[in-house]
Chain A
Amino acid sequence: MVKNVLASVAVFLLLGAAAYASFFIAPTDVKQGLIYRILFLHVASAWTGLTAFFISFIANVLYVLRRQRRWDCLGVASGEVGLAFTTAVLVTGPIWAHPVWGIWWTWDARLTSTFVLWLLYVSYLLLRTLIEEPDRRALLSALFGIFAFLDVPLVFGSIRWWRTQHPQPVIMGGPGSGLDPLMYKVLFFSWFAMLALMTLLLRQRYRLEAMRGDLETMQHELEAV
């Protein structure tokens, strides 16, 4: 309990520091002005969401191969946390896009693939609610999670090839792109803070799922008696 409170306070402080750095330390963008600062929340959430989905994918594969319940718990926990971060990405994106691009939404590669990714993990969580038996639920949702994750690069590739009206990638893009070095530092710090938040949420959600599993087992045993 004390450990949880301490961890939460530490994450809260980290997030506060990241917010301070995003607003006051990173220099203002010459072209976009203040609105660009949403990047530190938006991009950091996107990377964190993808990290969570990657963890979910690994957990899904491990569940299918090893059949230990902890991998199922980790799979659903990271899937849910990843979905939360991806939702943040989808909300902050249009807020930035409206003043800068003049539109809320466009079917460009990263937007569309993020949205499809979001839909896939919503389906993943929905599938879990529709299968009663715990082992079957764990196995089938893990398999769907694997297919969904494999689909992501394909979605991205297809939309990048055929729906190309998006600006060139700024980070790891071609020559002439890139951020101010100080902006990079703030961005990576924000990512670090978001990863800390992800770890905190993941831990809590994992424990909740494990407890739910225990409860289910006990209920089954009780019914058997």
Chain B
Amino acid sequence: MALLSTTAVLLGKELRTEFRSRELLTTTVVFILIVIVLFSFTFEPTSDESRRIGPGLLWLAFLFAASLMLQPCFLREQNNDTLSALRLSVSDPFAIFLAKLAANTLFLLLTELFLLPFFALMYNVPVVGVLHWLVLVFVLGSLGISIAGTALSAISAQARMRELLLPLLMLPLLTPILVASTEVTKGLLDRAPYVQWKGIGFLAIYDMVFLTALWLFGEYLLEE
């Protein structure tokens, strides 16, 4: 219980920091929008092609955006010298990770939901009928991206060339998420939409595995 209440307080801090400036959200939204538009007019997909390659492009855009969005996660603490204070004030370092990954998941989810109509419009795919399923995939996928990404941004923040390093560490590690979310989304955007339970289960398993790893090893990531 103590863990949850600490996490809630820290999550409040993360959200306040972001919503004061909203710089992370706005830049990420614009970034994904640019990527989606560029993909769209580079390939000029027909409706059938959109259904085939659209989901992959969408998730690639999300993944690239996340690798940028997660940069400041620990860097901001480090630049402001607040990481030590944060660690001293919290008994369980896992709470810091939980709060950060919850905030990151929320930010990612917000941008994804905001951009979904643009995607549907530009790629001519109907999304209204399967919206609740899409939201489920977005939640599970973003959670996976955030769990692994938050852990890795704690690593990359302590290295040189950190801006380049994070995508390098993150993208291969997130291949399973990319493949699974793309396939589930593809099923949902099909002419006869269907739900791939296998993929949804897989995403849940990925999230669980990395959440457990973070719970076991997270404290070492923040060692001084």
Could you tell me the distance between the alpha carbons of A30 and B34 in the complex, rounded to whole angstroms?
54
Contacts of A116 in B (CB 8 A): 172, 175
Asked if B195 CB lies within 8 Å of chain A CBs, one says no
Could you tell me the distance between the alpha carbons of A132 and B65 in the complex, rounded to whole angstroms?
28
Chain A interface size range: 20 to 34
Segment 202-224 of B: residues with Cβ below 8 Å from A: 202, 205-206, 209-210, 213, 217, 220-221, 223
Q: Is the CB of B172 within 8 A of A130?
A: no
Interface residues of B: mostly helix, strand, loop or mixed? helix
Closest Cβ of chain B to A57, distance in Å, is: 12
Which of A1-9, A91-99, A135-143 lies at the binding interface? A135-143
Known contacts being A116-B175, A120-B173, A139-B220, is A144 close to B209, with CB within 8 Å? no
Closest Cβ of chain A to B106, distance in Å, is: 23
Contacts of A144 in B (CB 8 A): 152, 155, 169
Could you tell me the distance between the alpha carbons of A123 and B173 in the complex, rounded to whole angstroms?
10
Asked if B158 CB lies within 8 Å of chain A CBs, one says yes
Q: Within the complex, which residue of A64, A126, A136, A151 is in contact with B176, where a contact is CB–CB below 8 Å?
A: A151
Q: Is the CB of A150 within 8 A of B155?
A: no
Closest Cβ of chain A to B148, distance in Å, is: 7
Could you tell me the distance between the alpha carbons of A213 and B176 in the complex, rounded to whole angstroms?
36
Asked if A127 CB lies within 8 Å of chain B CBs, one says yes
Q: Is the CB of A148 within 8 A of B173?
A: yes
Interface residues of A: mostly helix, strand, loop or mixed? helix
Q: Is the CB of A161 within 8 A of B202?
A: yes
Q: Is the CB of A158 within 8 A of B175?
A: yes
Contacts of A157 in B (CB 8 A): 176, 202
Asked if B151 CB lies within 8 Å of chain A CBs, one says yes
Closest to A153 in B: B209
Segment 143-185 of B: residues with Cβ below 8 Å from A: 148, 151-152, 155, 158-161, 165, 168-169, 172-173, 175-176, 179-180, 183
Closest to B182 in A: A162
Could you tell me the distance between the alpha carbons of A211 and B212 in the complex, rounded to whole angstroms?
36
Q: Is the CB of A147 within 8 A of B160?
A: no
Of the listed residues A119, A123, A146, the one surrounded by the most CB atoms of chain B closer than 10 A to its CB is: A123
Contacts of B155 in A (CB 8 A): 127, 140, 143-144
Q: Is the CB of A64 within 8 A of B173?
A: no
Q: Is the CB of B175 within 8 A of A155?
A: yes
Could you tell me the distance between the alpha carbons of A140 and B152 in the complex, rounded to whole angstroms?
9
Could you tell me the distance between the alpha carbons of A151 and B173 in the complex, rounded to whole angstroms?
6
Known contacts being A130-B159, A130-B161, A143-B221, is A150 close to B213, with CB within 8 Å? yes
Asked if A35 CB lies within 8 Å of chain B CBs, one says no
Q: Is the CB of A123 within 8 A of B179?
A: no
Q: Is the CB of A162 within 8 A of B165?
A: no
Starting from the known contacts A126-B165, A161-B198, 4 additional A-B residue pairs (CB-CB under 8 Å) come to A130-B160, A139-B223, A150-B213, A151-B175
**Closest 7 CB pairs between A and B?**
A158-B176, A154-B176, A130-B159, A119-B172, A158-B179, A130-B160, A131-B159
> What are 8 A-to-B residue pairs whose CB atoms are below 8 Å?
A64-B220, A120-B173, A127-B165, A130-B165, A132-B160, A151-B175, A155-B176, A158-B176
Binding site for B on A (CB under 8 A): 64, 112, 116, 119-120, 123, 126-127, 130-132, 136, 139-140, 143-144, 146-148, 150-151, 154-155, 157-159, 161-163
